[in-house]
């Protein structure tokens, strides 16, 4: 199970540069016991934002990467055989409900249908988690907060949240940071000089302009950080861009040639 409590006692909040009022909105939602839905393309900072906010609020964070096999039992818990005895083991959602923690369901649209059913009584004013297997009905401990994220870009028609699910969340849209934010983010994350980073970010924005025509998704801030880190660690600029900002975007030789033309236009 890909879930763990990611908050270290006394650790500083992970670096997150706000793009707008998202921190204030998240804090207001947390104070009002409202669940939050984050929408946005891959690698734009959603996970980092949640980690940052959890640390700022001083709440433990349980992150679950959802996939099409993820079931309600994976979140709630199950009986396991331990040394000849059957014992109940809480899943990450149940732990968060008991502890008053933040439970973050990443790519929630990927999860199986039975998962959304579980979320409903937790995300309205009841704030309860019925555990059928044990007969318990848990009332969420103060501090419990459900956060979910998904990428509206590559979701297909079958994989979308039902209105009855999505209308239980306060929702925020994320996008790639504007250059005046992305440059300092990449400098901070990679340690590369600002001059070079500025050009990488210019390239990233040119590549993002191809979304919808040649590319399914624009190049992520994550990939710009990768490229900058490889360059900082001594890789030649051209190779770093090729491996971190061209190859991950497409398998099509013609498309890649087009992307390289943009590189030449910026870096010569």
Position 44 contacts ligand ATP (CB under 6 A):
yes
Residue 185 interacting with ligand ATP (CB under 6 A)? yes
Smallest distance from ligand ATP to CB 185, Å: 5
Closest CA to 93 of 79, 80, 77, 82: 77
Termini Cα distance of the chain: 47
Piece of the chain touching ligand ATP by CB under 6 A; list 35-43, 67-75, 78-86, 154-162: 35-43
Q: Report d(CA 80, CA 60) in Å as an integer.
A: 25
Task: Work out which of 36, 37, 47, 59 binds ligand ATP, going by CB under 6 A.
Answer: 47
119: enclosing H helix or E strand: helix 113-122
The footprint of Mg ion on residues 129-188 (CB under 5 A) is none
Calpha distance 13→11 (Å, rounded): 6
**Which structure tokens are listed for 170?**
């306060």
Which position among 47, 63, 190, 221 is part of the footprint of Mg ion (CB under 5 A)? 47
Contact 230, 240 (CB under 8 A): yes
Pick 17 or 34: Cβ nearer ligand ATP:
17
Nearest to 71 by CA among 103, 107, 115: 115
The residue sitting closest to ligand ATP, measured at its beta carbon, is 45
Residue 243 contact among Mg ion, ligand ATP, none, beta carbon within 5 to 8 Å by kind: none
Is there binding between residue 13 and ligand ATP (CB under 6 A)?
no
The least distance separating ligand ATP from the CB of residue 102, rounded to whole angstroms, comes to: 15
- CA pair distance 152, 166, nearest whole angstrom: 12
Task: List the interface residues with ligand ATP, window 238-267 (CB under 6 A).
Answer: none
The first and second tokens of residue 149, run together, are: 């994220």
44 binds, among Mg ion, ligand ATP, none (CB under 5 to 8 A by kind): ligand ATP
Asked if 261 and 222 touch (Cβ cutoff 8 Å), the reply is: no
Q: How far is CA 238 from CA 78, 184, 231, 253, in A?
A: 50, 22, 9, 17
Binding residue count for Mg ion, defined by CB under 5 A: 1
Do residues 147 and 49 make contact, with C-beta atoms less than 8 angstroms apart? no
The one among 3, 30, 43, 127 contacting ligand ATP by CB under 6 A: 43
**Choice from 45, 60, 77, 218 touching ligand ATP (CB under 6 A):** 45
For ligand ATP, the binding residues (CB under 6 A) are 15-17, 40, 42-48, 106, 151, 177, 185, 189, 221-222, 225
For Mg ion, the binding residues (CB under 5 A) are 47
């Amino acid at each position: 199970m890909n879930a763990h409590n990611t908050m270290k006692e006394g650790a500083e909040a992970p670096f997150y540069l706000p793009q707008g009022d998202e921190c204030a909105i998240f804090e207001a939602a947390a104070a009002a016991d409202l669940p939050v839905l984050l929408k946005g393309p891959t690698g734009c900072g959603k996970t980092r934002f949640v980690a940052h906010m959890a640390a700022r609020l001083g709440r433990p964070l349980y992150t679950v990467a959802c996939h099409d096999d993820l079931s309600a039992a994976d979140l709630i818990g199950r009986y396991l055989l331990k040394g000849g005895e059957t014992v109940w083991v809480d899943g990450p959602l149940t732990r968060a409900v008991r502890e008053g923690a933040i439970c973050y369901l990443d790519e929630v649209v990927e999860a199986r249908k039975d998962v959304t059913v579980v979320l409903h009584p937790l995300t309205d004013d009841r704030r309860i988690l019925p555990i059928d297997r044990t007969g318990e009905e848990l009332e969420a401990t103060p501090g419990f907060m459900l956060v979910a994220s998904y990428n509206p870009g590559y979701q297909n028609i079958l994989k979308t949240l039902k209105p009855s699910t999505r209308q239980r969340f306060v929702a925020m849209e994320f996008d790639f940071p504007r250059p005046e934010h992305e440059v300092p983010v990449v400098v901070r994350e990679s340690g590369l000089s600002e001059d070079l980073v500025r050009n990488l970010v210019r390239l990233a924005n040119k590549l993002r302009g191809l979304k919808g025509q040649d590319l399914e998704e624009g190049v992520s801030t994550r990939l710009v950080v990768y490229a900058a880190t490889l360059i900082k660690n001594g890789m030649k600029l051209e190779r770093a861009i090729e491996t971190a900002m061209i190859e991950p975007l497409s398998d099509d030789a013609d498309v890649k040639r087009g992307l390289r033309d943009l590189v030449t236009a910026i870096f010569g």
